[in-house]
Structure 1
Amino acid sequence: MKCIVGLGNPGKKYEKTRHNAGFMVIDELLNRHGWELNKKKFNGKYAIEQLEGEKVALLKPQTYMNLSGQSIRPLIDYYGMDPEDVLVIYDDLDLPAGKIRLRQKGGHGGHNGIRSTIDHLGTKEFKRIRIGVGRPTNAMSIIDYVLGSFSKEEQERVDGSIQQAADACEAWIGESFPVVMNKFNA
């Protein structure tokens, strides 16, 4: 069984913000397959589905970004998954809007949702898809920037990266992550 986690903040107020890029990828997967997050438990909304003969959990933590690990850990424990079976999708300031980058492991890079995930999983050994949101080009604070909406131009580029990230999630179900990384990081 595999687990795909999109990081973000719950509620209408945050729906279309840069910080919710992970939620947007989960939404794309749900739309593609006609699924819905029909379970509420473990401080999250999730679904258990089948894709290419593999059981997959799709999770949107409802803890707010900085406490994401509090939702991920109990879900994977309940379903008997290892951190290596987890793919976390999140926004990244260091990538331009429209770019994605897959990694097999790593540090938190200053991202509090990933910091919480590392703390609660007790390891850095989980897969990631970083969705580029760029950095503010003016004096706007990082917090205001990630909690702000995309410009029209950014949104067009980000829509493409959301599609790409969803494609990568689907590819991971049937292929090894290094193969998927080579394909999508090229």
Structure 2
Amino acid sequence: MSDSAPWLVVGLGNPGPAYAGHRHNVGFLVADELASRAGVRFGAPRGMRSDVAETRLTASGIGGVGADAAKVILVKPRTFMNDSGAAVRKLAAFHKVPPDHVIAIHDELDLEPGQLRLKVGGGDNGHNGLRSLRSHLGTGDFARVRFGIGRPPGRMSVHDWVLSDFPVRDRTDLALEVDRAAGAVEILINEGLAQAQNRYNS
């Protein structure tokens, strides 16, 4: 990995309050948690089509300062999910971030709720946000934090499932899972993929 490059941590989701609580928006929730930990707020840089918050990460955590601090750019694209890559490509070019310093946080149908998996590379498994990132970055070789949401019950369509809110009874568990995913991002940047997988892959 290109050690001196900044990290682009991309929460995938759809913009606007109508989508805020949807399963498809877990990436936004994790990005918000990281910003909260760092004590930074999202702004909308001119021409970037994203909400962006910049911070630094040290061994002591996100928002830290020191000689070992890595620059971290938290991103919530303002495009819809299926065009996320266009926003990410602009930011990556502007900040000179190579694909191996991009981390995408996304909902994952093939993992049960409460499961988390980290990996680098692979296909998009029907996920429009990942497909867009691969297309615009020209590679799939970026890190993914896969946040389990499970498959829809009965005959419910995948589309309806991902664009529906988490039930109220699951909100406490959801907060814990968002916290875990944010921790996984920090370990991934600080200690590398293998360490993050050992600690968080469930």
TM tier, smaller = over 0.9
User: After superposition, where does 1:1-186 map in structure 2 within 5 Å?
Assistant: 1-40=6-45, 41-52=47-58, 53-186=69-202
Deviations 1:22-61 (A, max 9, x none): 0000011111121111233421110221121111110000
Tell me the CA shift for residue 70 of structure 1. Answer: 0.6
Structure 2: stretches of 5+ with no match in the other structure: 1-5, 59-68
Tell me the CA shift for residue 173 of structure 1. Answer: 2.7
Equivalent position amino acid for 2:12 in 1: L
CA contact under 8 A between 1:69 and 1:117: conserved in structure 2? yes
Identity of aligned residues (%): 41
Q: Provide the secondary structure at the position in 2 that maps to 1:68.
A: helix
Distance across 2 between alignment mates of 1:54 and 1:39: 22
Equivalent position amino acid for 2:20 in 1: E
Distance across 1 between alignment mates of 2:113 and 2:169: 9
Residue of structure 1 equivalent to 2:63: none
Tell me the CA shift for residue 90 of structure 1. Answer: 0.4
CA contact under 8 A between 2:50 and 2:78: conserved in structure 1? yes
Q: Provide the secondary structure at the position in 2 that maps to 1:131.
A: strand
Q: Provide the secondary structure at the position in 1 that maps to 2:76.
A: strand
CA contact under 8 A between 2:40 and 2:54: conserved in structure 1? no
Task: Report how many residues are paired.
Answer: 186
**Runs of 4+ off more than 4 Å:** none
Equivalent position amino acid for 1:34 in 2: G
Equivalent position amino acid for 2:41 in 1: E
CA contact under 8 A between 1:43 and 1:61: conserved in structure 2? yes
Distance across 1 between alignment mates of 2:23 and 2:171: 10
CA contact under 8 A between 1:97 and 1:133: conserved in structure 2? yes
Distance across 2 between alignment mates of 1:149 and 1:9: 13
Q: Provide the secondary structure at the position in 2 that maps to 1:39.
A: coil
